[in-house]
Amino acid sequence: MELGNIEKILEKYFEATATVDEERTLRAYFAQEEVAPHLEQYKPMFNYFSKAKEEKYTKQVPLKPRVNYYKWLSVAAAVVLAFGIYFGNQYQETKRLEQQKAEYAYQETKKAFELLAENFSRGTEKVAYLNEFEEAKQKIYSNN
């Protein structure tokens, strides 16, 4: 093989434009005992590729049957959706009952404050009466 031709093919190989026949030519060249000294550095690489091409995996690969996860995923999604609807309705019902209880408590508190205000105004009238009594008492004591 001509050295100039090998160098051109090697350059094409590193540019990834070499054909399959040209790659075979390179492998055959670097498989020889004598290689040009400046190309000696590429010899281990091509020898490795030649050996690696011949290697085969001889152990048996255990294959497990495939489980159809999509079927189980759709079942799980349906269950989650059903729970969501059920508990969502319960939550709405609970919320409505709590709102009714809050409204009832508000009405009862309002009644209690109205009763307190009514009694407070009666007490104010009594205090006004006590003020008149205090003024009359002061007039009596001051005249003496």
Using the CB atoms, write b or e for 45-80: b if 16+ within 10 Å: ebeeeeeeeeeeeeeeeeeeeeeeeeeeeeeeeeee
pTM of the model: 0.37
Q: How far apart are CA 89 and CA 133, in angstroms?
A: 66
Looking at residue 103, its pLDDT comes to 92
Tens-digit pLDDT profile for the chain (144 aa)? 577 788 888 888 888 888 888 888 888 888 788 888 888 888 878 777 666 667 777 788 777 776 677 787 888 888 888 888 888 777 888 888 888 998 999 999 999 888 888 877 776 666 666 777 777 778 887 875
Looking at residue 124, its pLDDT comes to 67
Looking at residue 11, its pLDDT comes to 86
